[in-house]
Structure 1
């Protein structure tokens, strides 16, 4: 949304209009503003924790950290009034990307609509009576339904803005958003329900606000997990950059193989966790080239049999390098076996058929596809259709037909838009005699 397309601006304005319509009934003499003001101030304060000099560096980052306050408003207040709780915090929250004003407006409207829908569902199922009577068990089902409504609204709106502003294909814009948000929002919803019950009880608002302390601790733990994941990403980037610097043939190749591997995995219906690990496998599949002499990787002439044997050790080198990295999981097997062939003629161990790990069979197809569709110093990039035809020709002997079919299906539907492209302006020369002509051998 740095440069916001007109369709995205219209989408944001429509969302804002919907939020205004939902919140309009709150402007009434019968509205009690004390609870609204207190919850709104608490939520806004929570969103400002990150700016505190003392705890700001360790504070959970990002909007939505303190959904318990918003959901408590949905459980305590009428829908139109509850929609207002998120507005001050959304406008005061830090925004790191431009346009900041439009992003704040979008976030305020999105959260207002989500809380309004949540409050409507909660009240329709009798949750308000259970909260006012301090009967927590009877409020669990309405609260669960309210959390689902909240997640559905956020998912629909988030997917829409991805399609409108980031030009994500509509078929994939909403994929996985609901399931990724459901678990954390459910936990926040339980905390919000506890706040609401305490608020309505004889203990009052002060006791209800104490719920924020354990919730903040849980958010801090989650933030630590996010930092650890960011460190993993940084480690992977450093390894990939080292390979790209050492082997000029594969500049940008690793990221594209990771992208193609992820596309195949999603088409096969793999769980999100496995998709992420498979992306790592694609990105790191050639990391073992760090152990191969640079003169061999950059050699333009034919390779001797001894030199080829040295280069073919790179899967084993790579496996040794990442063996101790626990979060890679199945990716390690893919790094070791991505040059195996279905007919058993591959390396390093000559595995065949189902003996080859599933992740390795995916990465082998992605690796060959990118090698054929990328411009190298010894060959021009082939069209996607030609590369797919070559993969299909070799399916059953070199490649797993299931993986080839999945790649062809997803490319036919969504197209191929690599996130990293090979250096342009390189004049292709004749392919060195030492580089085999089979698909995927371009990266040796």
Structure 2
């Protein structure tokens, strides 16, 4: 707790107290309004105990080596939502309590994280159960009224998602007067992204929870409800394996880029920025998310072939001799040899090989022209040239962003695909660009000024 800022501690205490209010109305006190839906002492507590144990077990299994993905903190919501569809609000909130409170926390501060996890889940489940009860969902589940059960479950899931979004978004909300206006204005957008990003998976979990509740109320009883956990467990495992494989892909790319950065210190950070610029172009062209990600990989890995080029040539000050230039011009082919066996890269491999081709056929390694050059390579070529011009190198100083964009537009149709250039100009005009200096210099930003001649240096654009 000591490591948290004062405002975060206050927020954590408020969420924890709110969770306690959902759990601890004292017996014998009047319960007006919403508190009238709390269970009385005669309520059978064995469903609460069973669902709480099931939730804790699923959470433990989700964090095990068997199924854990790169994000082991994800919550197994179907059991919590089944509790919200079956139990009164306080009893449903108790389902979340043991698992959220007792399961281990990996990162510090552990106590604060444990309290936060418990408070937000208790409040969200309580709200979902209350909405489900208020909309008549309990009767719909008891009578297996599918249209009514789906509608009331949808309202409960919406309340569950909204409460989680509001609580999580409160962490992102700026302190009054403490942050620049741009950050403060971004808070509603952050809440919107949180809500929309969690609504779809929570809807799927809500359907599984509703199925559990309907089977629980059926003549087959709780044993049949537990059978729903089998397909959910399989889907959870498959999803975790997908994320684990994706994490392995990211680690592979990161290792290759780090090797290039170590070999050529003057291009440190260049690959990541080319990946970012490639993403801007791809999104501006309306490509789907998978292809945008592939082009990001292409931009990040475009110079991986420099691992096969002697370091003395990469770090040489001044122009290269024709022989040295021919050696460096082999780096696209070296790079393609390195990545062609990595199947998940897809068309990024073609971009690695052809990103120095030019529309007029004066590029390398094969002198392709126009449409012969793969689209991915044309995207990366523009992104690479843009970052090369706006970054300080051993042989040239950085140009201002407007000057670099004007140069790209001047060379459109000869060196670069005009469509890619227009896309980058539009994207930067809307989102801006703030490049960092790639050379190991203690400068906070790129140095404007006239660029040195790029003669004899592959990758630098005239």
TM-score (norm 2): 0.77
How does 1:107-126 map onto structure 2 within 5 Å? 107-123=117-133, 125-126=135-136
Q: Is 1:241 matched up with 2:258? A: yes
Query: What SS does structure 2 have at the residue aligned with 1:64?
Result: coil
Q: Which runs of 5+ in 2 are unaligned?
A: 26-34
The 2-side partners of 1:388 and 1:126 are apart by: 60
Q: Given the alignment, which residue of 45, 56, 60 partners 1:48? A: 60
Instruction: Tell me the CA shift for residue 195 of structure 1.
Output: 1.5
Structure 1 unaligned residues grouped into runs of 5+: none
2:30 alignment counterpart: none
Partner of 1:35: 47
**Considering only aligned residues, what root-mean-square deviation do their CA atoms show, in Å?**
4.0
CA contact (8 A) 2:394 2:439 kept: no
| 2:39–2:91 Cα contact (<8 Å) kept | no
CA distance in 2, matches of 1:16, 1:5: 17
Question: 1:72: Cα distance to partner?
Answer: 0.5
Structure 1 partner of 2:434:
416
1:258–1:280 Cα contact (<8 Å) kept: yes
Alignment CA distance shift 1:81-1:236 (3 Å): same
- Higher deviation after alignment, 327-336 or 233-242: 327-336
Q: Quote the residue 2:65 is aligned against.
A: 57
Aligned 8 A contact 1:126 1:142 in 2: yes
| Alignment: residue pair count | 432
Describe how 1:43-192 pairs up with structure 2 within 5 A: 43-49=55-61, 56-60=64-68, 62-123=72-133, 125-136=135-146, 139-155=149-165, 157-159=167-169, 161-162=171-172, 170=187, 173=190, 177=194, 180-192=197-209
Task: Report whether the alignment pairs 1:404 with 2:421.
Answer: no
Give 3-state SS (helix, strand or coil) of 1:235's partner.
Answer: helix
- Over 3 Å counting, the alpha-carbon distance change for 1:283 and 1:127 in structure 2 is same
Could you say if the C-alpha distance between residues 77 and 176 of structure 1 is closer, same or farther in structure 2, counting changes exceeding 3 Å?
same
Q: In 1, distance between residues paired with 2:368 and 2:36?
A: 68
Q: Distance in 2 between matches of 1:421 and 1:11?
A: 40
How many Å separate the matches in 1 of 2:216 and 2:169? 34
Instruction: State how far apart, in whole Å, the 1-side matches of 2:308 and 2:253 are.
Output: 16
Which of the two has higher C-alpha Rg?
2
Q: 1:127 to 1:161 in 2, by over 3 A?
A: same
More deviation, 121-130/329-338: 121-130
Match of 2:460 in 1: 441
More displaced stretch, 122-131 vs 318-327: 122-131
Task: Spell out, residue by residue over 1:361-408, the C-alpha distance to the aligned partner (whole angstroms, 9 max, x if none).
Answer: 433333233323433333444455554554455556544233322441
